[in-house]
């Protein structure tokens, strides 16, 4: 597939216009169009994305040449198309200062002022608000004049008729031109066609009435039709500006503070280079990706969807779009990527790509619109003929015209693209990236969600949670921790890293290893102070002839835990318990999905005991353990086979995973959701229909909630629009005449404008509508006010007791933490009271079931 060809085209008023352009381009035979998408949510020029399969190399030169070739085809249809490098978000950029003389500058300034006034005056005179006001005021004035004065003399009617005809033609000039152009070049009927036929009929019938007295004279109708038409368009464009989502990149400032040794300097955002240091003040949005130089509190909503800020430490990575908390310290970051490669730039590009593929409902609506306008014209003629049989010709003509102007196919073609774009943008704000609009729509139908365990519901990063020194060992606990930290000091294995981190934080001693040997896959050997030590798994100990079975049996470990032993000269002296903690918000996510009516499953390669432990903690009752990645071996026990078995039972299944072993299951599901994690795989993300940003599982809630809101908005607006059009055609076509009421065509136009505005307002309501399911998982007043208050708040919800334990080192105490809600408890050992307080804070920052920091 080639690169997308992006055009900004003026003159398209509805999907009938875009369908005509697409048909014309396909009919040339020179283009193999794979995708054709027009963004109708913005004013002219409208962004049009065409994806072709040209027989050209995808170089920039050939890309522009082929772009120009397509542009020439578009110009043949008499549509205006912007230049190749046109960027709408930069169109108001001020020109650079020149170096001309003061006299020349004054002269140029006067010319610019004159040109500006001319452009401003032209803009006002051609605006829809002005033209609409002109048509409505003149039309209503003429209507009041004829009603109050009765039959006017011929000498007065001739200038009034002449002025009305000229004004109607001026108000409809653009519409007449567009209708003729589209009919001739692309053989399509559009809204402009309906208004052109109706107003020309009004003008012709009114002029003929001078010679045939029984025909109606309704010069005011043409004025009112275009008056209400222009006002309707003006209202639509105003609402579209509120609905149409600006780019995420537009949220960041154009200038940033470059941090220098002697202060700061304000420079353009695009001038910032990799490794530059920039300063962000409290409340400001981080403009570029980078690493923190200092600590601060940051809202990660753009990534995780969470509504609470998180404390970031030095060297932690931040993304463009995150926002500094109002009461946080100023943040200095070291820039990783320039603006055009930032997270927000990539997010905007992903959204643009997502909306290019049409949703299933949009395709069906497009097929319906192909027959809509010809049907309306046929109904108008039919109703005019039938009513003309039973009523005067004047009433028949008025009814036919009313049918033409009352129907509104424009909103039918706008409803789905506008809702889908709003939905994809809203999902991105909550940390979910949908690959295309089809997936956004189909996510609403999911009734079953299957989760992978390791790396998806858990962090996938092992954590040391407890340790013990053997009773016959001749070392203190602090010395035990120092030995483990020293042996794992240079380890690159995740388990080794977790042991080093845990032991070095909790030990006050530092030792040096000589003759380190990490060649064994299950442990490390080393010499410390003349003694040989080995740290590793039970299997390594067994290879060395050290028995561990009795200790393992007596410990009664929880499923999912594993042991790492430390031996001194082939004698066990202690062990550390390692676990894979649940992701933060895992329990909240599972609970929210259950409340949304989703059936939840756990499908994992872990053993049954491990799966049961995590499932019980999360409240998941459907478990499929010991599942392999593919169907190539042990097919019945594979993850894809489990997905297929659920689908055969009639379920619409979403699979949530992260690593390569989830790729086939994600591809087999109805909706694949890839969660970015420590071990997330690019292939898995390619197969997934939605990608969740790294950090939290809460965006999974938004995946389904935003999809439900999007589909609900589409259905509401489609039903309203179809209902209106059917009612308008029936009422204007004769139902009112049957009870003695004749509908003025201008009233039909006004009703059409009202229904279009109501539909757009409903889309705006959807845009600002909160994600209720996500809000229910957060309790800001209870959970967060500032970084240090988290610890104080959680300290109140835990019961903490301290008691001396038997230890080789005096003053060592055990701190036992118990969660008052769940009853879950664990122990911490240290050698001083101050260390207890430090570790207590660290432990209380972790939820009992969600142990990830």
Instruction: Please provide the DSSP assignment of 361-379 as one string.
Output: HHHHHHHHHHHHHHHHHHH
Question: What DSSP state is assigned to residue 582?
Answer: B
User: Taking a C-beta distance cutoff of 8 angstroms, is the pair 617, 624 a contact?
Assistant: no
Host H or E run for residue 612: helix 608-618
Class (C level, CATH) for 253-342: mainly beta
CA distance 324 to 347: 20
Q: What is the DSSP string of 645-702?
A: HHHHTT--EEEEE-SGGGHHHHHHSSEEEEE--TT--HHHHHH-SEEEPTT-SHHHHH
Closest CA to 219 of 674, 748, 744, 795: 744
CATH topology of domain 463-579: Calcium-transporting ATPase, cytoplasmic domain N (3.40.1110)
pLDDT of the residue at 57: 45
CA distance 503 to 507: 6
* Beta strands 263-268 and 323-324, pairing class: unpaired
Percent of the chain past pLDDT 90, that is, above it, reads 24
User: Taking a C-beta distance cutoff of 8 angstroms, is the pair 430, 756 a contact?
Assistant: no
Residue 650, C-beta contacts closer than 8 angstroms, at least 6 positions apart: none
| Residue recorded with tokens 């060592």 | 812
| Residue recorded with tokens 């120009």 | 68
Cβ of 789: how many Cβ atoms within 10 Å? 11
pLDDT of the residue at 136: 84
Helix (H, G, I), strand (E, B) or coil at 482: helix
* Beta strands 798-804 and 813-819, pairing class: antiparallel
Alpha-carbon distances of 613 from 559, 592, 593, 813, rounded to whole Å: 6, 20, 20, 30
Q: How confident is residue 679, by pLDDT bands cut at 50, 70 and 90?
A: low
| Residue recorded with tokens 């439900």 | 708
Which CATH superfamily does the domain covering 438-459+583-692 fall into?
Answer: HAD superfamily/HAD-like (3.40.50.1000)
CA 840 to chain centre: 39
- In degrees, rounded to 5, the angle at the alpha carbon of residue 469 between the alpha carbons of residues 467 and 472 is 160
| Residue recorded with tokens 């004049």 | 145
CA distance 292 to 274: 14
Instruction: Give the tokens for residue 372.
Output: 């809509």
Q: Point out the least confidently predicted range of 183-187, 336-340, 762-766.
A: 183-187
Kindly tell me the burial class for residue 254, based on how many C-beta atoms sit within 10 Å of its own C-beta (0-12, 13-18, 19 or more): exposed
Q: What are phi and psi of 826, to 5 degrees?
A: -155, 165
Give pLDDT tens digits for 371-409: 777 888 888 888 888 888 888 877 888 888 888 777 776
User: Taking a C-beta distance cutoff of 8 angstroms, is the pair 191, 135 a contact?
Assistant: no
Domain extents for the chain? 5-90, 128-243+356-417+720-758, 253-342, 438-459+583-692, 463-579, 785-844
Closest CA to 397 of 161, 198, 157, 193: 198
Q: What is the DSSP string of 686-746?
A: HH-SEEEPTT-SHHHHHHHHHHHHHHHHHHHHHHHHHHHHHHHHHIIIIIHHHTT----HH
CA distance 334 to 94: 30
Closest CA to 784 of 299, 243, 146: 299
Res. 93: pLDDT tops 60:
no
Res. 91: pLDDT tops 50:
no
Buried b (16+ CB within 10 A) or exposed e, 534-545: bbbbbebbeeee
Helix (H, G, I), strand (E, B) or coil at 41: coil
Closest CA to 441 of 685, 646, 723, 690: 690
User: Taking a C-beta distance cutoff of 8 angstroms, is the pair 732, 751 a contact?
Assistant: no
Helix (H, G, I), strand (E, B) or coil at 620: coil
CA 197 to chain centre: 42
Note the residue count of the chain: 853
* Beta strands 622-624 and 448-451, pairing class: unpaired
Report, as an integer, the average pLDDT of 693-722.
Answer: 89
pTM score, two decimals?
0.63
Instruction: Give the tokens for residue 280.
Output: 């962000």
Closest CA to 195 of 184, 206, 187, 203: 203
pLDDT of the residue at 735: 73
Give pLDDT tens digits for 535-550: 999 989 999 999 998 8
Buried b (16+ CB within 10 A) or exposed e, 804-839: eeebeeeebbbbebebeeeeeebebbbbeeebbeeb
Closest CA to 35 of 60, 13, 18: 18
User: Taking a C-beta distance cutoff of 8 angstroms, is the pair 311, 787 a contact?
Assistant: yes
Q: What are phi and psi of 100, to 5 degrees?
A: -75, 170
More reliable by pLDDT, 111 or 427: 427
* HSE-up of residue 633 (Cα within 13 Å, Cβ side): 3
Q: How confident is residue 169, by pLDDT bands cut at 50, 70 and 90?
A: very high
Report, as an integer, the average pLDDT of 435-443.
Answer: 86
User: Taking a C-beta distance cutoff of 8 angstroms, is the pair 709, 454 a contact?
Assistant: no
pLDDT of the residue at 488: 93
Cβ of 575: how many Cβ atoms within 10 Å? 25
| Residue recorded with tokens 């990660």 | 300
CA distance 781 to 792: 13
User: Taking a C-beta distance cutoff of 8 angstroms, is the pair 817, 844 a contact?
Assistant: yes
CA distance 541 to 501: 23
CA distance 576 to 571: 15
Q: To the nearest 5 percent, what fractions of the chain are helix, strand and coil?
A: 50, 20, 30
Report, as an integer, the average pLDDT of 436-460.
Answer: 88
CA distance 602 to 599: 11
Instruction: Give the tokens for residue 238.
Output: 């105003």
CATH topology of domain 5-90: Alpha-Beta Plaits (3.30.70)
Kindly tell me the burial class for residue 493, based on how many C-beta atoms sit within 10 Å of its own C-beta (0-12, 13-18, 19 or more): middle
Buried b (16+ CB within 10 A) or exposed e, 143-152: beebeeeeee
Host H or E run for residue 463: strand 463-469
pLDDT of the residue at 837: 38
Percent of the chain past pLDDT 70, that is, above it, reads 77
Closest CA to 165 of 138, 211, 203, 216: 203
pLDDT of the residue at 304: 56
DSSP E strands, 472-621: 514-517, 523-528, 531-536, 562-568, 571-579, 599-603
More reliable by pLDDT, 711 or 151: 711
CA distance 434 to 792: 39
Res. 292: pLDDT tops 90:
yes
pLDDT of the residue at 66: 79
Laid out side by side, the sheet with 33-38 consists of 33-38, 46-52, 5-10, 80-81
Res. 567: pLDDT tops 50:
yes
Q: Point out the least confidently predicted range of 81-95, 155-169, 467-481.
A: 81-95
Q: What are phi and psi of 578, to 5 degrees?
A: -110, 140
Alpha-carbon distances of 430 from 282, 343, 852, rounded to whole Å: 22, 14, 21
pLDDT of the residue at 694: 66
User: Taking a C-beta distance cutoff of 8 angstroms, is the pair 167, 199 a contact?
Assistant: no
Q: How confident is residue 114, by pLDDT bands cut at 50, 70 and 90?
A: low
Strand partners, 803: 814
Q: At what angle do helices 360-390 and 393-406 cross, to 10 degrees?
A: 170
More reliable by pLDDT, 98 or 546: 546
Question: What DSSP state is assigned to residue 212?
Answer: S
Question: What DSSP state is assigned to residue 391?
Answer: S
Give pLDDT tens digits for 795-840: 333 333 323 333 333 333 333 333 333 333 333 333 333 333 333 3
Rg (CA), the chain: 35
């Amino acid at each position: 597939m080639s690169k997308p060809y992006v055009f900004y085209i003026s003159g398209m008023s509805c999907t009938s216009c875009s369908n005509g352009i697409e048909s014309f381009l396909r009919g040339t035979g020179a283009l193999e169009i794979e995708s054709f998408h027009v963004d109708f949510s913005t004013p002219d020029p409208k962004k049009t994305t065409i994806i072709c399969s040209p027989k050209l190399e995808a170089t920039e030169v050939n890309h522009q040449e082929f772009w120009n070739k397509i542009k020439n085809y578009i110009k043949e249809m008499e549509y205006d198309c912007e230049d190749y490098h046109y960027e709408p978000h930069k169109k108001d950029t001020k020109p650079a200062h020149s170096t001309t003389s003061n006299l020349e500058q004054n002269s140029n300034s006067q010319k610019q002022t004159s040109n500006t006034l001319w452009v401003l005056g032209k803009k006002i005179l051609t605006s829809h608000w002005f033209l609409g006001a002109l048509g409505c005021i003149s039309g209503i004035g003429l209507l009041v004049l004829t009603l109050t004065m009765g039959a006017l003399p011929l000498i007065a009617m001739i200038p009034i008729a002449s002025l009305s005809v000229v004004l109607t033609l001026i108000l409809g000039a653009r519409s007449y031109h567009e209708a003729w152009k589209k009919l001739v070049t692309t053989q399509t009927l559009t809204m402009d066609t309906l208004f052109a036929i109706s107003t020309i009929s009004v003008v012709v019938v009114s002029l003929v009435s001078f010679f045939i007295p029984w025909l109606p004279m309704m010069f005011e109708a043409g004025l009112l039709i275009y008056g209400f038409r222009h006002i309707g368009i003006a209202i639509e464009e105003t609402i579209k500006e509120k609905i149409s989502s600006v780019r995420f990149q537009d949220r960041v400032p154009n200038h940033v503070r470059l941090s220098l040794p002697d202060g700061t300097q304000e420079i353009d955002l695009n001038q910032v280079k990799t490794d530059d240091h920039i300063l962000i003040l409290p409340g400001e949005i981080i403009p570029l990706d980078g690493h923190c130089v200092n600590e601060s509190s940051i809202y990660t909503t753009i990534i995780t969807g969470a509504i609470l800020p998180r404390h970031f430490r030095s060297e932690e990575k931040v993304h463009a779009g995150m926002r500094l908390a109002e009461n946080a310290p100023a943040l200095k970051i070291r820039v990783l990527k320039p603006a055009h490669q930032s997270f927000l730039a990539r997010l905007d590009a992903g959204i643009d790509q997502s909306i290019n593929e049409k949703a299933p409902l949009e395709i069906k609506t497009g097929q319906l619109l192909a027959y809509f306008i010809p049907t309306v014209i046929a109904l108008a003629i039919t109703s005019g003929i039938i009513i003309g049989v039973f009523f005067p010709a004047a009433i028949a003509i008025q009814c036919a015209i009313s049918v033409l102007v009352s129907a509104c196919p424009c909103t039918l073609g706008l409803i789905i693209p506008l809702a889908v774009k709003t939905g994809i943008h809203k999902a991105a704000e909550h940390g979910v990236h949908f690959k295309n609009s089809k997936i956004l729509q189909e996510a609403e139908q999911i009734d079953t969600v299957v989760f992978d365990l390791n790396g998806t519901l858990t962090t996938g990063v092992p954590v040391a949670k407890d340790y013990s020194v053997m009773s016959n060992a001749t070392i203190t606990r602090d010395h035990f921790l120092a030995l483990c930290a020293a042996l794992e000091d240079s380890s690159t294995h995740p388990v080794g890293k977790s042991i080093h981190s845990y032991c070095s934080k909790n030990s006050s001693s530092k030792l040096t290893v000589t003759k380190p040997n990490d060649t064994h896959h299950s442990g490390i050997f080393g010499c410390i102070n003349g003694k040989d030590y080995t740290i590793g798994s039970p299997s390594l100990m067994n290879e060395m002839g050290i028995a561990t079975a009795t200790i393992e049996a007596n410990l009664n470990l929880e499923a999912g835990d594993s042991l790492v032993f430390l031996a001194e000269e082939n004698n066990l002296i202690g062990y550390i318990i390692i676990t894979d903690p649940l992701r933060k918000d895992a329990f909240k996510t599972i609970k929210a999905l259950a409340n949304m009516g989703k059936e939840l499953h756990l499908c994992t390669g872990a053993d049954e005991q491990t799966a049961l432990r995590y499932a019980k903690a999360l409240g998941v009752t459907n478990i499929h353990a010991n599942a392999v990645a593919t169907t190539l071996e042990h097919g019945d026990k594979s993850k894809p086979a489990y997905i297929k078995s659920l689908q055969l039972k009639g379920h619409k299944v979403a699979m949530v995973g992260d690593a390569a072993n989830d790729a086939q299951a994600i591809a087999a599901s109805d909706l694949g959701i890839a969660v970015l994690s420590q071990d997330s795989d690019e292939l898995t993300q390619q197969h997934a229909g939605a990608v969740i940003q790294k950090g939290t599982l809460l965006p999974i809630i938004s995946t389904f909630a935003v999809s439900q809101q999007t589909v609900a908005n589409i259905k509401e607006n489609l039903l309203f629009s179809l209902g209106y059009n059917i009612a308008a055609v029936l009422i204007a076509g004769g139902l009112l005449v049957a009870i003695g009421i004749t509908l003025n065509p201008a009233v039909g136009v006004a009703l059409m404008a009202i229904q279009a505005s109501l539909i757009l307002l409903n889309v705006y309501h959807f845009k600002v509508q909160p994600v209720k399911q996500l809000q229910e998982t957060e309790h800001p007043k209870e959970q967060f006010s500032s970084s240090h208050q988290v610890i104080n708040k959680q300290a109140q919800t835990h019961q903490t007791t301290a008691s001396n334990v038997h230890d080789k080192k005096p003053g060592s105490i055990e701190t036992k933490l118990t969660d008052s809600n769940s009853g879950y408890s664990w122990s911490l050992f240290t050698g001083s009271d101050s260390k207890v307080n430090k570790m207590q804070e660290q432990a209380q920052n972790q939820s009992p079931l969600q142990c990830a920091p």
